[in-house]
Every structure is written in C-alpha cells, then in structure tokens.
Structure 1
Amino acid sequence: MDKEFKKLREYYRENYFNEQVSKRIKDKVHQGIKNKEMVPLEKKRSYSITKKLAYSATAFIVLLGLFLGSAFISPTMAEVVSKIPFLNMIFDQKPISQAIMEELEEQGYEITGSGYSVQDKTFFVTVSGSDEYYNQVEGEIEKVTEELISSRGYDDFSVEVEKERTTEPNVNVENNPKYQNGDLVMESLKEVVPKLQQQGYKIQDSYGVFYPSPDSQEIHVTLDIEDTETRTDEIENAILEEIKKLEIQTEVIVKINSINRQEKETEMQWSMNVLPVIFEGMLNKKEYKTKGVGYSYKKGTMNIYITTKVEKSDNEASDLAKKIEKAIQEFLQSDDLKGIVGDTPYKIIVRDKDGKDIK
C-alpha cells in the first residue's frame, strides 16, 4: 500500500499541485501544530523531528482530501486510487464528526456539537449564540460541512445546521432528595469498591448508580467483576452494609455483571477503532446502499451487521452483499488492522431492507 500512496503523491504533484494548493495545505498543517510550539528545552531536538513527521503526514492527508474532492480524475489516477481500500483511507483520518467540529471551530464559528442520524443519513451541526448570529452563519456552516464530508468521497448524506436549544432544568438537583440519595450511594461506592479490590476481589473500575426509570423509587448499583470471581454474595453484602450507614430510605439493588477481561478489551478495541470506520464508510457511500449498521460480540466472535435498502429477491442483492463483504474483509485483513483485529474471529452479515440475511 505504501507504493500506491507514493504513486498518488507523485501523480498529484505532477498534475494538480500549484502554489494555491500548496498554501492551503501549509495553512492547514500550521494551524494543526501551532499549539505545540512551546516545549521544554530538553525536548527541542526530538520535537523538531516529530514536527517534520507530523507536517509530512498531515500534508499528505490534506492533499489526499483535496484530490478526492477534485472534479477530474484521470484513468491513470483512478487505477492508482482503486488499489487503496476505501475503508483504509477513512481509518487514516479522524472520525468525520470530530473533523467537522475542529474545522468549523478553526474557522471561528461558535459550535457546540456535531452528530449523525443513521436513519436520516444526516450530519447535524449545532450552533450557539443569538438568532441573528445563527441566521448569519447557517448557510456558511452548511457549505463548509458539505465540502469537508464530500472531500472524503462520501455521496450519500445531508447536512442540517440547527440552533442550540436552551431550556431551564425542571429539577432542582441540589434540593431533590432523590438525586441527593443517588449521589450519596455513589460516594459510598467510591469508598467500598477500592477496599474490596485491595482485599483481592476482582472488581472492575466500571461501576455506577442509576434509577431504572424517572418514577422509580429504587436505586440500582451496577458493577463488573471478572468471570473468575465467584464471591458475588460477599461483594453484594459488603456494598449493602456500607450503604446502610447512609440511613437513606430508598431501596438499593446491586446488580453484578460477570465479564471476561480479555473479551472486554477486544470488544473495546473493535468498538473504538474498527467498527466506527466500517459504519462511517458503509453509510455514506451510495454504492453500498446501506440502511443501517450494528454489531454484537458473542462467544469470542465479532458479528458485523449491515442492513441494506434492497430486497432479498432483487437481482442485485447477492452481488451487493458480496461487494460489501469484500470491502469490509479487505479492510480487516489489511496491515493497518493487524495489531487490532489479530486472530479475533468475525462474521459479516449483510441483510435486506426487512432484516433478512442475504445469502
């Protein structure tokens, strides 16, 4: 793949590169590293090398984005690009929602958030400030966002710019006994869980407190333990004994989840680094005709679900399923993913619009 990227760089410089493009790339890169100029004296030398590498890598990503967004692609260039897996190009870039936020903030817009609706295939950008400010920048923000998304080769999306809604809270948390009790239980957990861990109980740091519904009078405590830990009754009793000292009237229920640490780490790696890339690519390219995405990790196997817009009986259904499977497998089997995917078994399940598996 390195050879293909080298060809892409050389071809772009010969056919598209000019002073205006050069300035755009330099401006982007300088903006990206300007906050890292102040470093301790003893790190100056190593930083200069890092800075050069960062400039080179960032410049190429910007250059690649400019190329993908260009109107003209020669047959020679199309051949080179076709050898670079589409999902791998996404993997080398920031998540699109993050990229949108950073680009708009860099241009000075007052943005409070960005998100994506799978059902509508819509990117949302939320703007703060007055109505006057919103009316002034709405069109500009929409254009910048559309150009940024299109530069990745996406062609199946819409953009909606909305004004931040500000509402007065209906609940005064500080004076509400219900929420006060929840805080007290959480503080109690922060004391008892570390003590149990020090005593050798295999409890994970992921624990929490919540009410199962707005009207519920029960406080639920959840915590994860390793699947090799069998002393669940002792753990539950220790937690409830500590909570009793609070003398609150609300009933507290402890829910303990048994997890396999290795499998949990594997699922986290996939859900943070792999699946978002697959889902982003599948949802935003018309050729994949994707309606929805999802996954489940069961018995050590990662199951990736892609729901399409076609019916199982359509003539194109089988070919579309094969095309989707090939794109995802190409990505998962690439050098970029070796350190993450490893030997984890996986299945790619492509479904029709009604949720039926396309064989």
Structure 2
Amino acid sequence: MEDELKKIHEHYRKNYYSEEIDDRIKDGVQQNIRNADVIQPEKKQRHSIAKKISYITAACLVLFGLFIGSSFVSPAMAEVASKIPFLNKIFNQEPIYQVLTEELEDKGYDISGLSYSTQDKTYSVTVGGSEEYYNQVREEIQKVTEDIVSSRGYNDFKVVVEKDDPANDLEYPEDFDLLFDALEEVLPKLQQKGYKVLGNYGMGHSSPYAKEIMLTLAIEDTEKRTDEIERAIIEGAKKQNIKRDVTINFQPISDQKWEIESEWASNVIPVILEGMLNKKEYKTNLVTHSYEKDTMNIFVTTTIDMSDNEAPELANKIELTIQEFLESDELKDIVGDTPFKVVVRDKYSRSIN
C-alpha cells in the first residue's frame, strides 16, 4: 500500500501540482465534529460561509487527496487508486463540505449557507441576493453541487438549492461569535493561572430563539474549581455584551482519554461518518462513538430491521470496512494500540453483529 501511495504522489506532483494548489493546501482547515445545532470550533471563519455549515466532518488535506478527485488520471494510476480502500480515499481527501464550499466560492456564487442533513440525506445550499439572482443561478448551483457529490462516488444524498430567507436567522446571531471571542480571551488566562481547562468546547441552544446558550467545556478530571472557572467565563461574556444567558456544563476527562478522544474525533470518526452516510450500500443514518474502559466504541445505526435477511451480511460488511480502515498503515499513528469495537445496529438501535 505504501509503495502504491508513493507512486500516486509522485505522479501527481509531476503532472498536476502547482503553486495555486500549494496555497490551497496551506489554507486547509481541520474541524471538530459538529452536530446540526451544536458549534464546536477548531478555528473561526467569520467571513466565510463555512461558519454556517452544519455538516459533521474533519479529514487530512494532502496532495494525494486532490489527486483522488481528479478525472485526469492515467489508466495505470486509476488501477492503483482502485485498490485503495474506500475509507482510506476519504481520509486523504478534503472533507466534502470543504470541497463544496471552495468550489461554490471560487465560482463567485452568493452563497449564504451550506448544510448537510443526515436525517433526510440532503445537501442544502442557501443562496443570497435577490429573487432574480436566485432564479438565474439556481440550476447552475444545483449542477455544480451534484457533480461534486457524485464525483466522490456518493449516491445516497439529494441536493436542494434554496433562497435565503432572513426571517430564518437567529434572533441574536452575533452571540455565538461574541462568546467565541470571550472564550479566546478567558481560557488562555485561566490556563496560565494553572486552571486545568482543556482546549475544547461546544456551544448549542435548545431552539433558535432560546434565551440561553449552552456551553460544554472540557476540564481535567482533577480540576475542582469549576465555580471560579464559570465566574470568569460569565464575566467575559458580559464584557462582550452577549444578550443571551450562558449556561456551562463541565465535562471532566483524564489527560490520556482526552488525547485519544480528540485524535479520533478530529481525524477518524468524521471519515467513517462521511463514508457510511453517503453510500447507499451501507444503509446508514447515524455514526456515533464513545471511549469507555480504554476501548473506542464505534456505533453505526442502519436503516434496516435486524429480522431482515440481509442484516447479518450488511453488519459484517460495515464492520470489515471500518476495521480495514482502522488497521491500515495510514492510521497507525492515530489508532496506535487503542482497542476498538464496531457495533452495527438496526433502525431500532438493536445490535445486529
């Protein structure tokens, strides 16, 4: 496998590499898993539609990733690429939302939002501007988006292009950004003072018009000064003139568990999520994980009933696909010697493997 990847890498650099691609690679962004109404920032992108993306994924951006998506590949290279496991291809590509965002922005479309719904398997592109502009570009945007999705071999999602409706905006859309600012100022100061606050947090709300923002903050399990940490964050939020109340939920976690969970959440689970959800053959509508008793548990919920004749075969296929990915050479530095277990469930969350 390693030799095959080197061949592809060398072929790509010789025939397709450019300074423009180099710049794109340097500008690549990895993001944490983000639920549809939960924001977990790795980096803020204030002036990009990426701020509104609700799709959950993160993956490594490398030269090989750009090559895999290229149609200008020799038969010999195509044969080599075809031998690479499905999830490994995704691992070496830009996340699908990143590809869509860049392509639509590069083409100059006025895009105000891009979302990914796992419930109804839909990529939604929201278009800004006037009604006339929307009618003019809707079909073009639809085709560009569908072409990108299908070029990845994804066949279990539909694309919807909609007109932006200002009435759908949050009542206090700036509050999340302001809380980002407050945390970026407060958390480093707390860490400098010896508070064992970990560099990860999540924000959410119970509804778009809720009067409070729910903040989940990871701390080391030996840190007991939560009242002082909470007081500092609330004071920082007030300085930013945040209109909503901020409720803080602390998640104590050990150093070792934190490092393992962070690595998997950033680089492994999003790849499995993207791969399982986007291919019809896997019949998947949910991928979650938990790290308990020193074992990483990956839960894949399917759309079938465990009584279906195909259930055992599907469960076996999903389990082997994920296992092949996790045991590949590319994942050695991430997975290491961490034990893992793949649990495949039916549509009623009953285990079928």
Give the TM-score normalised by the residue count of structure 1: 0.68
1:279 aligns to 2:281 (yes or no): no
Q: Is the 8 A contact 2:305 2:346 kept in 1?
A: yes
Alignment partner, residue 297 of structure 1: 291
Structure 2 residue identity aligned to 1:121: K
1:351 aligns to 2:340 (yes or no): no
Distance in 2 between residues matched to 1:77 and 1:221, nearest whole Å: 48
Structure 2 residue identity aligned to 1:99: V
- For residue 94 of structure 1, give the secondary structure of its aligned residue in structure 2: coil
The match for 1:337 among 302, 306, 331 is 331
Structure 2 residue identity aligned to 1:259: I
How many angstroms does 1:292 deviate by?
2.3
Alignment partner, residue 229 of structure 1: 223
- Structure 1, residues 175-207: CA drift from partner, whole Å, max 9, x if none? xxxx9xxx89x969966x766645544334557
Alignment partner, residue 156 of structure 2: 156
The match for 1:32 among 18, 21, 38 is 21
Alignment partner, residue 129 of structure 2: 129
How many angstroms does 1:211 deviate by?
8.8
Alignment partner, residue 103 of structure 2: 103
Alignment partner, residue 68 of structure 2: 61
The structure with more helix, counted as a fraction of residues: 1
Structure 2 residue identity aligned to 1:342: G
Runs of 5+ in structure 1 lacking a partner? 14-21, 38-53
How many angstroms does 1:168 deviate by?
8.8
- Structure 1, residues 92-136: CA drift from partner, whole Å, max 9, x if none? 100001101111222222222322111111111121111111111
Distance 1:263 1:106, change over 3 A: same
Distance in 2 between residues matched to 1:6 and 1:127, nearest whole Å: 41
The structure showing larger relative contact order (alpha-carbon pairs under 8 Å, at least 6 residues apart) is 2
Alignment partner, residue 117 of structure 2: 117
Structure 2 residue identity aligned to 1:262: Q
1:315 aligns to 2:309 (yes or no): yes
Q: Is the 8 A contact 2:297 2:340 kept in 1?
A: yes
Q: Is the 8 A contact 2:66 2:93 kept in 1?
A: no
Distance in 2 between residues matched to 1:314 and 1:351, nearest whole Å: 12
Runs of 5+ in structure 2 lacking a partner? 27-60
Q: Is the 8 A contact 2:234 2:246 kept in 1?
A: no
- For residue 167 of structure 1, give the secondary structure of its aligned residue in structure 2: helix
Q: Is the 8 A contact 1:4 1:83 kept in 2?
A: no
1:94 aligns to 2:94 (yes or no): yes
Q: Is the 8 A contact 1:29 1:55 kept in 2?
A: no
Q: How does 1:160-179 map to 2 (within 5 A)?
A: 160-167=160-167
How many angstroms does 1:328 deviate by?
0.4
Distance in 2 between residues matched to 1:251 and 1:126, nearest whole Å: 29
Distance in 2 between residues matched to 1:35 and 1:252, nearest whole Å: 37
Distance 1:158 1:314, change over 3 A: same
Q: Is the 8 A contact 1:29 1:58 kept in 2?
A: no
Structure 1 residue identity aligned to 2:328: S
Distance in 1 between residues matched to 2:349 and 2:299, nearest whole Å: 10
Distance in 2 between residues matched to 1:211 and 1:236, nearest whole Å: 21
Q: Is the 8 A contact 1:236 1:254 kept in 2?
A: no
Distance in 1 between residues matched to 2:183 and 2:345, nearest whole Å: 47
1:139 aligns to 2:139 (yes or no): yes
Give the TM-score normalised by the residue count of structure 2: 0.69
Distance in 1 between residues matched to 2:268 and 2:77, nearest whole Å: 28
Distance in 2 between residues matched to 1:228 and 1:122, nearest whole Å: 43
Alignment partner, residue 252 of structure 2: 258
Distance in 2 between residues matched to 1:219 and 1:145, nearest whole Å: 33
Distance in 1 between residues matched to 2:183 and 2:140, nearest whole Å: 50
Distance in 2 between residues matched to 1:209 and 1:84, nearest whole Å: 37
Deviates more, 1:76-85 or 1:280-289: 76-85
Distance 1:302 1:3, change over 3 A: same
- For residue 300 of structure 2, give the secondary structure of its aligned residue in structure 1: strand
Q: Is the 8 A contact 1:188 1:242 kept in 2?
A: no
- Structure 1, residues 33-83: CA drift from partner, whole Å, max 9, x if none? 46799xxxxxxxxxxxxxxxx9974763343x5569xxxx9xx99975553
Structure 2 residue identity aligned to 1:294: T
- Structure 1, residues 299-357: CA drift from partner, whole Å, max 9, x if none? 33222111112221222111111111111011111111111111222211101122111
The match for 1:326 among 308, 320, 323 is 320
How many angstroms does 1:32 deviate by?
3.3
Structure 1 residue identity aligned to 2:338: T
Distance 1:129 1:341, change over 3 A: same
Structure 1 residue identity aligned to 2:220: E
Q: Is the 8 A contact 1:66 1:151 kept in 2?
A: no
Alignment partner, residue 49 of structure 1: none
Distance in 1 between residues matched to 2:153 and 2:245, nearest whole Å: 54
